[in-house]
Amino acid sequence: MSRITRIEKLKTRRRMDDDMLLIWRKPGQESEATALMAKAAGLFVPGDRVICAEWFGDDNLPAPRWIRHFETDLTEIENEYCDRTIEKLISKDQPKSTGPDHDYDHISTDQLTYICLAVET
């Protein structure tokens, strides 16, 4: 294993209890398969919070990393791609909400995003 690979692996292992491991996949790839590869590479252990979003760009996928807050820890393009991934998950056949759903007021935006993009660990 190269020194750079070891350093990247060590960086991804540093996390706090509220952190989520963000891993990216190309459109068409399955979240579960991508998560299994990350787990096999030792990037997370069972019970860790892991999210997987689609990377819509033509460039290389960003390296997996631990994040805590979507709006501040991600770049503008990463936030856009997370939003686009969530939009793809929402069925076009479902009725659209006409206003805020106050049943979810107690849940943070970070937690709601995690719920949408989470993969089983």
Report whether pLDDT(10) > 60: no
Cα–Cα nearest to 53, from 25, 20, 79, 16: 25
In eight-state DSSP terms, residue 96 is P
pTM over 0.85: no
Mean pLDDT for the stretch of residues 47-56:
95
Report whether pLDDT(110) > 90: no
d(CA 96, CA 58): 31
